[in-house]
Amino acid sequence: MVKVNLMSAPCLWRWEIVDTEDGALVESSWASQWMAYESSQEALWAGILRLAELSRHSRGALVQGRRAPTWGEIISSAQ
């Protein structure tokens, strides 16, 4: 699932990809890439693209020790 959060300093948005089964953080735009966005929508779309990139290579494979999401899970996280 992709979540977006407003950071307090700097006042920008970041995305986080979270494992829906256990709530564990898989990847964060700020922690892994030092990337933040001016709007929540921009952060959400960047997170969705990253999630799609992670899952495109091997659906059902492990992503940093976790199962890669299906396209249905990607779409539902964007809604």
| Tens digit of each residue's pLDDT (9 = 90 or more) over 14-56 | 999 999 889 999 999 999 889 999 999 999 999 999 999 888 7
Structure confidence at residue 73 (pLDDT): 65
pLDDT of residue 78: 56
Sequence-ordered list of residues with C-beta below 8 angstroms from that of 54, at least 6 positions apart, any chain: 17, 26, 27, 63, 68, 69
**CA–CA distances in Å: residue 36 to residues 50, 60, 66:** 14, 29, 24
User: What's the domain count of the chain?
Assistant: 1
Q: What residues make up the domain containing 10?
A: 2-78
pTM beyond 0.75: the answer is no
- The residues near 11 (Cβ < 8 Å, ≥ 6 apart) are none
Distance CA 24, CA 72 (A): 19
